[in-house]
Structure 1
Amino acid sequence: MKAIKIKNTVVFPLLAAMLFSGCGGKKDDDNILKELPPISVKTKAAEMCPFESRLSVQGNLEASESVTVSARIPGNLDAVFVDVGDEVKKGETRLFTVDPIELENVVLISERNVDMAKAQLLVAEASLKSAEASDKKATLDAERYARLREEDRVSANEYEQVIVARDSASAAVESARAGVAVAQEQIASAEASLIIARRNLSDATVLAPIDGTVNERFLDPGERVNPGTPVLTLTGRGSVKAMACLPAVYYGEIDAGSSEFRLLVDGIELGQFKIAAKTPAVDTRLRTFGIRGYVDHESAVPGKMATFEVIFETRQGISVPDDSVLVRRNRNIVFVNENNTAVERVVKTGFRSDGRTEITEGLSLGDEVVVEGQTQLFDGRKIRPVGR
């Protein structure tokens, strides 16, 4: 500890303070202070600076658009046309193909089934025409035999046989009509199967559903897939989703759409962004809630962690360095240079940020505050400002 020499007597600062406060009265104290050599200090004028009320938390960056592309049909994976890191374009870039040769054969078979069903319809329609002609002939015979029977020129048995033949012909017409309906249904079924076969063939080659980049690849050619089997993951281009959780106590202070956060990745500030949304409720287990924003910056890479500085309030205030504010007798004080004399000022503090403390009472703009050497001072001590 550095001692202070007073008239050939060495007194430690604390002892000197006690002597000054307890012996000889104010006049003697003033005389002693005048004889103390001035202490070299550094000073800085109190200035107006911006202050923030903010909270720093860790969060994650995620792709705002991410798609897992899966197989649509069963079969063997025939080819994968892209790899991790490749750029893809929506509706144009081929991603992979599932067993196209087998599916092409299914299409050919389905086309043949349609042709066969149409041929069967022609046969059924011809049978219907023949049945209708026979039915017409049997109806005419029945009418003629009815007249003959009235004239008693044919027997009852002969008449009955003609009536039975007429009824059989009518039934044959109904059967032929049913055959035509069945043939038409067979055509519809075959055409539906053909549509499915062609769609499956189309689904065999999958195109990129979004513009973006291949983020993951799960399978290689030759592996078996079923509908829904993941093959690739694509990450969309554009903004990245920034997500973090805040303590529940801050829920009411976040206004989605107007509240803002500052984002830092790897210690580099990427800018200030709006909070786009917050979760509608607080997690009762963790007592936290989520916030989300969108960041458009080349350094905002999905998967990285980031620091969120959530800003609650910004205002201008009188600023001094943090270290210049001391606590003595349970009060916050600073020392101000007045005519090379340290004058103790009791102050009230506000926000603190970036090594600066806001002074809300007790200091005026431009006051010369001691920023180095203040711990050695007491009220009225002579000082020598250096390196202002």
Structure 2
Amino acid sequence: MKRGIITALIIIVALAGIAMVLDNNKKKNEAKTAFIAEGGGAVAVRVATVEKKVTDLDFSVNGTFVPKQELNFLSENAGRVSKIFVDEGDRVTKGQILARIDAEIINTDKETAQANLQNAIKDEARYSNSFKTGGVTQQQLDQAKLAVENARLRLQSASRKVSDANIKSPINGIINKRYIEVGAFVNTQGTQLFEIVDVSKLKLRVNVNESQVAHLKVGDKIEIKSSVFPTEKFNGKVSFIAAKADASLNFPIEIEVDNNTSNSLRAGMYGTAVFNFPKQAPSILVPRTSFVGSVSSNQVFVLDTTTNTSKLRKVVAGRILGDSVEILEGLNEGETVITSGQINLAEGTAVSIVK
């Protein structure tokens, strides 16, 4: 019994929903019919007046600060860490010694390379004297000279390893992470030692659309703001503009930003790039919906006010500025363009303006 009542209720609700949908469709059709009827037999259209306006190109976009330089510093020599001279948060300069690797084995290799070089030099001198008296051939002398060069290169490599036992910072920056402790063993496979970041200069990464990127070029000066420091203004310069849009049809932009003397800005903070452009000369603008099909068609219908008919006009479109399009040729200020109903129009079609 209960199941039958529930089924009946479900059927009633479904029928009520269907009735509502049908009623809404009827109202929409009546509205369309009324819209066309207003034209009195002519095609009902909406229009807009062609105007000259000053275009405001200024805009602002938000992005994230990243370090201009960021380095994950890896080991080059195997050995045990004997000393560490810096800690996380310390400021370092290029060439400063950060840590030292136990160089006992490395020093032994260098001493061996030095001894081998001395022996090779003596052998070369001996072969050279013997060659003068005919005791050795030219080939044997050449091999002795080659042995000297090889020994010198091995010594140079060993000396470099001894120098690398003092781990030096390759950039100016701040120790953001320290991954080693005294006594830890590092290997030549690239054990991570330090993460160093330089925030004296930052990069603000933002995305702009196609109409915005058209007005930008590398080297443009940009004003940068930060919500964390609302009273401060930072100077930026466009350093990179992507040649290709991303999946969302936006273009990645990088802006190099000078930090203040106290390096208040930090990587990971949000920033706002304010793009200001010189005042533009007035230009003829029409609604984007004026075009037949799309903007690329370069065709619009103009209203002939004397006969209330449509006239197809060829135009040259310029910049797309939001919902408006700049017209370079083909229209004059004060003319009237048709903005809706073009699908039903042809050259000379009678029209009726609907407000």
| Bin of the TM-score, shorter chain as denominator length | 0.5 to 0.7
Pairing partner for 2:111 from 99, 108, 111: 108
Query: How large is the Cα RMSD of the aligned pairs?
Result: 3.2
Which has more radius of gyration? Answer: 1
Structure 2 counterparts to residues 195-344 of structure 1, below 5 A: 195-221=156-182, 222-226=184-188, 228-236=190-198, 238-258=200-220, 260-266=222-228, 268-271=230-233, 273-293=235-255, 294-297=257-260, 298-311=263-276
Residue matched to 1:60: 64
Instruction: Classify 1:121/1:214 alpha carbon distance in 2 versus 1 (closer, same or farther; 3 Å).
Output: same
Displacement, 1:55? 4.1
Determine what percentage of the aligned residue pairs are the same residue.
Answer: 19
Q: 3-state SS of the aligned residue for 1:268?
A: strand
Q: Determine the C-alpha separation between the residues in 1 that align with 2:137 and 2:97.
A: 51
Cα distance in 2, alignment partners of residues 84 and 262 from structure 1: 29
Mapped partners of 1:274, 1:209: distance in 2: 25
Q: Using a 3 Å threshold, how does the CA distance of structure 1 residues 302 and 81 change in structure 2: closer, same or farther?
A: same
1:267–1:95 CA distance, 2 compared to 1 (3 A): closer
**Alpha-carbon distance change, 248 to 108 in structure 1, aligned in 2, over 3 angstroms:** same
In structure 1, list runs of 5 or more residues that go unmatched.
1-51, 133-172, 316-388
Q: 1:228 deviation in Å?
A: 4.5
Letter in 2 for 1:216: K
Contact 1:212/1:237 (CA < 8 Å) preserved in 2? yes
Indicate if the aligned counterparts of 1:270 and 1:299 stay in contact, CA closer than 8 A: no
Asked if residue 186 in structure 1 is aligned to residue 147 in structure 2, the reply is yes
Question: 1:276 is paired with a residue of what secondary structure?
Answer: strand
Structure 1 residues 265 and 78, CA gap change in structure 2 (3 angstroms): farther
Counterpart Cα distance in 1 of 2:230 and 2:114: 63
Q: Deviations over 1:182-217 (max 9, x none)?
A: 333222221221111111111221322222221222
Once the two structures are superposed, what CA deviation does each residue of 1:277-299 show, in whole Å capped at 9, x if it has no partner? Answer: 44242424121112232132333
Contact 1:60 1:303 in 2 (8 A): yes
Q: Is the 8 A contact 2:68 2:198 kept in 1?
A: yes
Residue 289 of structure 1 aligns with an amino acid whose one-letter code is F
Shift, 1:83, TM fit: 1.7
In structure 2, the gaps of 5 or more residues are 1-55, 281-355
Distance 1:227 1:309 in 2: 45
How far apart, CA to CA, are the structure 2 residues paired with 1:284 and 1:277? 18
Amino acid at match of 1:61: F
**Partner Cα distance (1:179, 1:269) in 2:** 79
Q: Deviations over 1:147-172 (max 9, x none)?
A: xxxxxxxxxxxxxxxxxxxxxxxxxx
Deviation at 1:223, TM superposition (A): 2.7
Q: Distance in 2 between matches of 1:303 and 1:228?
A: 27
- The alignment covers a number of residue pairs equal to 222
Q: Distance in 2 between matches of 1:112 and 1:85?
A: 44
Distance 1:314 1:265, change over 3 A: farther
103-112 or 253-262, which deviates more: 253-262
Q: Cα distance, 1:126 vs. partner?
A: 5.8
Would you say the 8 A contact 2:224–2:235 is kept in 1? yes
- Deviation of the 1:267 alpha carbon: 6.4
Q: Distance in 1 between matches of 2:106 and 2:236?
A: 51
Structure 1 277/120 Cα, relative in aligned 2: closer, same or farther at 3 Å? closer
3-state DSSP of counterpart to 2:214: helix
Query: Structure 1 residues 251, 123: closer, same or farther in 2, change over 3 A?
Result: closer
